[in-house]
Amino acid sequence: MNHRLLRAWSSMTGLRWILVLTGLGLMVRVAYVLFVERGDPLSGDGAYYHEAANLLADGLGFTEPYRYLHGGAQEALFVTDPATVPQTANTALPVGHIEPTAGHPPLWVLLLGAFSTLGFTSVTAHQLVGALTGAVGVAAVGWAGRQLDDRLGHRFIGPSAAAIAAVHAGFWLNDGLVMSESLVVPVTAGLVGMAVRTSGDPRVRNVVLLGIVGGLAALTRAELLLALPVLAIPLLTGRHLRGDGPSGVIRFQRYVTVGLVTAAVMGPWVVRNLAVFDEPVWLSNGTGILIAQTNCHDTYYGEKQGSWRFECALPQPLGPEGQAVDESVRDVEYRRRGIDYLTDHPRRFATHVVPKRIGRYWGLYAPINQLQADTLVEGRSFRLSVLGLAQFAVVAALAALGAREVRRLRGPLMLLTTLPIVGTVIAAATMGATRYRVPAEVALVLLASVALASWGERRIIREPATLD
């Protein structure tokens, strides 16, 4: 970084830099949508979100989009030879079949659906919504960095975080694919930022805000809920406070308040699910089918180890009399299938599958194979995915340096490492995939920004005369 840039970096306020970099992030994302992904057919979860949002805008509620659009044909959508799918009550379902869904948490569908009600129903329109949401993510990551600035006594963590987020392909690649990860970035940044802020200033307002963001995070990506109890621990321990601080009872009340507010935010969705499904559903029905697709012969042996295979969940479960059943009942049966296979192969699971799931998650095992799978299933550009992997390697290296700096300054290292740890555990239990790493990457970007900010400030202190 030359002296002129350092002078400019130092003279502008952190907020101004974050706003400028948010604009840069928006331009990167819009260019990606318009020149790379514009109007391309969506696949995988992106197609689900797009179609579900339009059905919601049409007044059909949260309706399973594949069964509505394809009827029984949806069971064979992703297989090479549809003739291999046995004829059952599921394959006989007509086009236009209406069935409630909680295949994914609802917030991303709700956001897309809001734009659909305004007439923005095309693939390109939803891709641009993704780009706009991604730009909000840049601002949110910058804001979270500013909370670290306040805790660590730095000036440049916020702008540095926004700068990385603006160009980090691991974030913006999802925007043109209409993936929920576009929304995962800002809610994760908000979650971590509020955790950092609340750990240093546990006023009721901040405690309530942490609970609200926690609820929104859970409604975007269910596993983020697992991180919340850990992110709120400073409220319980009181280690952030000087002197004796509040009593243990008050600290416990604050900790519980976070959970109660989170539950209140999630409440309407949970109540709806309990009302419409035959089996209890809290956030989503996706766990069972994921377990089935990731615990089978093809994912324990061969090139798909540590990953998933669609065919492993076929045929779709039926009721005791061969009748079609709702999504929740199917999910229970899917879960049983996957767990049965796991318990029959415990040694293979422990020695091969789990390490390779974690390896795929962190880009360490079969990285090119994983990027090729991302291209095939999600429609990602392979070349841009390679760029994303290279950027991730740099961010991870800087994050290690940033973690050392946070520890040296006695900063909130636990809050910045929670999501990578939770993500690793979830990957070990399910599968490793590039986009599933996004919440962890938000934390890594913040840690990397600490390293960059520390380096920049040392340069300014070392050469004050040049910068005056």
Q: For 16-64, how does the pLDDT look when each residue is reduced to its tens digit (9 = 90+)? A: 889 999 999 999 999 999 999 988 889 889 999 999 999 999 999 999 9
Q: What is the mean pLDDT of residues 232-241?
A: 77
Whole-Å CA distances, 319 to 95, 329, 355, 450? 21, 8, 36, 55
pLDDT, the chain, mean: 92
**pLDDT recorded at residue 465:** 45
Domain definitions of the chain by residue range: 3-64+99-467
Q: Is the dihedral of CA 174, 180, 181, 183 positive or negative?
A: positive
Confidence label for 467 from pLDDT (cuts 50, 70 and 90): very low
Q: In this structure, what token pair is assigned to residue 401? A: 């340096």
Residues 6+ apart with CB under 8 A from 407: 413
Higher pLDDT: 189 or 86? It is 189
**pLDDT recorded at residue 82:** 82
Q: What is the pLDDT of residues 339-355, one digit of tens each?
A: 999 999 999 999 999 99
Higher pLDDT: 458 or 371? It is 371
Q: What is the mean pLDDT of residues 229-246?
A: 74
**pLDDT recorded at residue 78:** 81
Q: In this structure, what token pair is assigned to residue 339? A: 């767990």
Q: Residue 10 pLDDT more than 80? A: no
Q: Inter-axis angle of helices 204-218 and 248-276, to 10 degrees?
A: 30
What is the rounded CA–CA span in Å between residue 245 and residue 236? Answer: 11
Which is nearest to 30 in space by CA: 138, 172, 168, 159? 172
